[in-house]
Amino acid sequence: MSPYDQLEQAMIEVAAGRRIAYLGPEVSALSGGSAPSSPAALCAQIEAQVRAPRRVQGNLWSVAQYVESRKFRATLDKLVQDAFAGDTPGSNPVHDWLARVRPSMVVDTWYDDGLLRAFDAASQGTEDWGLVQGVSRNGEWIDIFTRAYDNTGAEVEAADPAWKTLIYKPHGLARKGGSMLISDSDYVEVLTEIDIQRPIPEEVQRRRTGTPFLFLGCRFDDQMLRIFARQIAKRSGQGHVIVTPGPLSRMEARFVEEMGATWLDLPAEAVAEALSVPEG
């Protein structure tokens, strides 16, 4: 079976609810527009506004920590929100497809709101989906890792098991009024607890049980991103598929092996080409 055939099969399984889509920045980039489409690109935009020390340059999480420490959190939030608030991006074939087939859960790891806009456009008055997003604990006075919202944007106590689709954005959302994990201190709070799964919402844990993942447009050349992926996929099913172009770094190759995953050496654009397959 060719890599394209394997990709099409995995996408059929996502549409049928037998596999969970896990989206990275390269999927968001299919929307076009001027928003950054990788951690490196977002880091460069922040550094264009605030000069960071040489020792942290090029590392998004460390540069964000420098801005937070020297310029305050509100400045960091505004810089990131502004980076994603440029021209309106176009239609995204992957987001539109997921909004149409309504799988049980989608994990979206980038900071943009493209997937939410696609679901909102496809809702047609239905209220069968909602969002859980990671939030920074900076400035919080309560023990909190995530917040949940229904499809109108109203905050709710927790994800509703009755939602047909749960959108999980573990790193948060870069738009006004939102919250995100981006600085080193944000992640320290989460990583101290993630091994015992406290930051992972109960409904996410329930929906992933026994179901493998399809990782689309993600790079795993950063330790923190690998930790998040491992923990989100914990106690899920076997047979993960990772779609990302090579060459893989040494640590990415090790990650693929540790996850017991099949690596498909394909770009995110290959997903759009596979969308003509029958759904379900």
Bridge partners, residue 108, by sequence: 23
CATH at residue 212 = 3.40.50
Q: Does residue 27 form part of some domain?
A: yes
Q: Rounded to an integer, what distance in angstroms lies between the CA atom of residue 157 and that of residue 57?
A: 39
Q: Rounded to an integer, what distance in angstroms lies between the CA atom of residue 44 and that of residue 48?
A: 6
Q: Does residue 67 form part of some domain?
A: no
Q: Does residue 203 form part of some domain?
A: yes
Q: Rounded to an integer, what distance in angstroms lies between the CA atom of residue 188 and that of residue 222?
A: 15
Q: Does residue 185 form part of some domain?
A: yes
Instruction: Note if the pTM is more than 0.85.
Output: yes
- Reading the block at residue 106, the tokens are 């989608």
Phi, psi of 131 (to 5 degrees): -125, 140
The answer to whether residues 244 and 25 touch, using CB atoms and an 8 Å cutoff, is no
Nearest to 108 by CA among 216, 33, 196: 216
Helix 223-232 to helix 184-191 angle (10° resolution) is 40
Give the single-character DSSP code of 35.
S
Q: Does residue 64 form part of some domain?
A: no
Q: How big, in percent rounded to 5, are the helix, strand and coil portions of the chain? A: 45, 15, 45
The domain in which residue 269 lies consists of 3-40+86-276
In percent, how much of the chain has pLDDT > 70? 96
Q: How high is the pLDDT of residue 278?
A: 45
How many structural domains does the chain have? 1
Q: How high is the pLDDT of residue 44?
A: 97
Nearest to 182 by CA among 229, 226, 138, 116: 138
- Reading the block at residue 65, the tokens are 């920590």
Q: How high is the pLDDT of residue 125?
A: 64
Label each residue of 160-191 as H, E or C. CCCCCEEEEECCECCCCCCCECCCHHHHHHHH
Q: Does residue 208 form part of some domain?
A: yes
pLDDT in tens, 165-224: 999 999 999 988 889 999 999 999 899 999 999 999 999 999 999 999 999 999 999 999
Q: Rounded to an integer, what distance in angstroms lies between the CA atom of residue 103 and that of residue 90?
A: 23
CA triple 43-47-50, angle to 5 deg:
140
Q: Rounded to an integer, what distance in angstroms lies between the CA atom of residue 65 and that of residue 61?
A: 6
Low-confidence residues of the chain: pLDDT under 50: 277-280
Q: Does residue 48 form part of some domain?
A: no
Annotate 140-166 with DSSP letters as a single string: --S--SEEEEETTS-EESS--TT-SEE
Q: How high is the pLDDT of residue 211?
A: 98
CA distances in angstroms from 121 to 19, 35, 127, 128, listed in the order given: 24, 20, 12, 13
Q: Would you say how long the chain is, in residues?
A: 280
Nearest to 87 by CA among 140, 43, 32: 32
Q: Does residue 210 form part of some domain?
A: yes
Phi, psi of 3 (to 5 degrees): -55, -35
